[in-house]
Structure 1
Amino acid sequence: MNQPLRQQHDQRFSDLIRTRTGIQLPVHRRQMIESRLRPRIAALGAKGFDGYLAQLFDHGRLEEELPLVIDLLTTNKTDFFRESSHFDFLSREILPEAIRRASPHAPRLKIWSAASSEGAEAYTTAIVLAEAQRAGKRFSYAILGTDISQRMLERAQRAIYSQEQLSPVPAEFRARYTMQGRAPAHAGTARIVPELRDRVQFMHLNLMDSSYPVDRDVDVIFLRNVLIYFGPEDQAAVVSRMVSHLRPGGHLIVGHSESMVVSHPHMTQHSPSIFRKT
């Protein structure tokens, strides 16, 4: 492939991924991109990354390959109890305030994990809220997890995790909220108990869509460690759409490295990564 055509394909590919997913793929990350797409390059028998791009753009493979490309390029980093201070804030600040506001009735909290990957954030939230109920707090809750990766959503719905993945979960919570795999095929794994799985729903959602099919009275949105992959214009657009789904007084929680990203006239900063809708 001659150099001008290669550069044209590279730019077209980068523009396409940014438009469809918000993810920016600078030229210097070409090696990383190629390594992640290696399974598809091999599946099509393409001659390297350049040959694969030619298959996409010159030979009509784009639409059938694009969902697979997006799935492979999406950063699916997720851990149970990641940035645990956010879950402390949920149980110590957000939940008691919701109970006081709804008194004498029991409130129903709506929580949205907006880049849920394989479900660790959503199920961590369920564990924290289940513990609060166990301690006698009166409320109900529903958790929605959304992600652009269908593969990750399927894993989240199965809710089966390795012991290594579950290692950040305190031992007493693992004993209470997971079931050990007994079949040989599931040795060394555990599954989230049905009582928590029933409280969590997952669905496909692309943050780059112009609107989201989500309720507009959500209490808490977790949008953590996603915006760092977007450009400033896309960051602002996504934050604006998220804010429109929060109830007044609701909270938007982003990653600790994203505190400077959130700028919206209806949001006030509670702490570096926690914002409240006025």
Structure 2
Amino acid sequence: MPTSAEDDHLSVADFQRIAALIGEQVGIRLPPAKRLMVEGRLRKRIRALHLASLRAYGDYLFRQDGLGSELPYLINAVTTNKTDFFREPEHFELMEKMLVPDLLAQRLAERNPLLKVWSAASSTGAEAYTIAMVLADMAAQRRDFRYSILGTDVSTDVLAQGRRAIYPAEMIAPVPPGMQSRYLMFARRPGPRPEVRIVPELRRNVQFHRLNLMASSFPIDRDVDIIFLRNVLIYFEKADQAAVISRLIDHLRPGGYLLLGHSESMVGTSITMRQVAPAVFQKI
């Protein structure tokens, strides 16, 4: 008889091993209070692997040498991927009104400079495409710069969605109507769950790659103008927070900006950068 979801749980030892593994691999803390959440997310993997229970998943992972092939799927399952278009909109307004004009003023000697923006925990791409919408509007108006956007995440699932650039229609409510008409494609005959797609002109300027923020080094350019790393560090231990920020700063050009989440403003108190706005820092 199959084990019911109510009776099926990871053993305490297996949950602790998963928590330690995720902490070591991607820096995310999984305290005991997260055990039910982790179990709920792993049930889809159990079905995909045709396993009978969470107990069987623990056996497969740790006692049947399944970890090598399963680790990417485990990371996909337990990482949190909350994202929205125009989340914390003050940052995008600041980017338009202050950060980009300042960065371009620093490069007056260059003809048509390329601004590089990195969404360092891009999830499904809503942040990266929000940045693209703002920069596309600015570039069309100013006609004096180009832009490229890199979205990185540790989860291969969310990166795949970012590359597809297809989103549930309800997600676009925060996008201003003018931008919706310029940058979103709507199906002529929407189905029961309407979806939209980002226009090709924006997709061409946004790339997505897998990157683990816990890696000792990043294969990223070292002249990035703006880095967004918002609402991610709250899941990391303090020592890991400091190490990640230090590595990110190494990839900013002098005068470049790092944007953290507003809930992470205290993380920035140890940053050797100049704070220019809440959770916004400039490399000097």
Tell me the distance in 2 between the aligned counterparts of 1:44 and 1:160.
27
Other-structure match for 1:90: 95
Other-structure match for 2:6: none
Matched, 1:52 2:53: no
Tell me the distance in 1 between the aligned counterparts of 2:121 and 2:96.
21
Aligned ranges 1:97-246 → 2 under 5 Å: 97-103=102-108, 105-182=111-188, 188-246=194-252
Report the CA distance between 1:47 and its aligned residue.
Answer: 4.9
**Could you tell me which of 70, 83, 89 is aligned with 1:65?**
70
For residues 240-268 of structure 1, the C-alpha deviation after alignment (integer angstroms, 9 at most, x for no partner) is 11111011111110100001112455312
Q: Which moved more, 1:42-51 or 1:105-114?
A: 42-51
| Structure-2 change in CA distance of 1:172 and 1:226 (3 Å) | same
8 Å CA contact 2:103–2:255 kept in 1: the answer is no
Count of aligned pairs between the two proteins: 274
For 1:102, what is the secondary structure of its paired residue? coil
State the identity as a percent. 51
Other-structure match for 1:80: 85
Tell me the distance in 2 between the aligned counterparts of 1:37 and 1:143.
32
8 Å CA contact 1:98–1:107 kept in 2: the answer is no
| Structure-2 change in CA distance of 1:234 and 1:265 (3 Å) | closer
Report the CA distance between 1:179 and its aligned residue.
Answer: 1.3
Report the CA distance between 1:133 and its aligned residue.
Answer: 1.8
Task: Return 5+ residue gaps in structure 2 as ranges.
Answer: 1-9
Tell me the distance in 2 between the aligned counterparts of 1:151 and 1:95.
31
Instruction: Give the TM-score normalised by the residue count of structure 2.
Output: 0.91
Letter in 2 for 1:200: V
Task: Return 5+ residue gaps in structure 1 as ranges.
Answer: none
**Could you tell me which of 249, 255, 265 is aligned with 1:259?**
265
| Structure-2 change in CA distance of 1:216 and 1:30 (3 Å) | same
8 Å CA contact 1:220–1:250 kept in 2: the answer is yes
Tell me the distance in 2 between the aligned counterparts of 1:77 and 1:70.
15
Instruction: Give the TM-score normalised by the residue count of structure 1.
Output: 0.93
Tell me the distance in 2 between the aligned counterparts of 1:191 and 1:145.
17
Report the CA distance between 1:178 and its aligned residue.
Answer: 1.2
Tell me which stretches of 4 or more aligned residues in structure 1 moved more than 6 Å: 183-187
Report the CA distance between 1:163 and its aligned residue.
Answer: 1.2
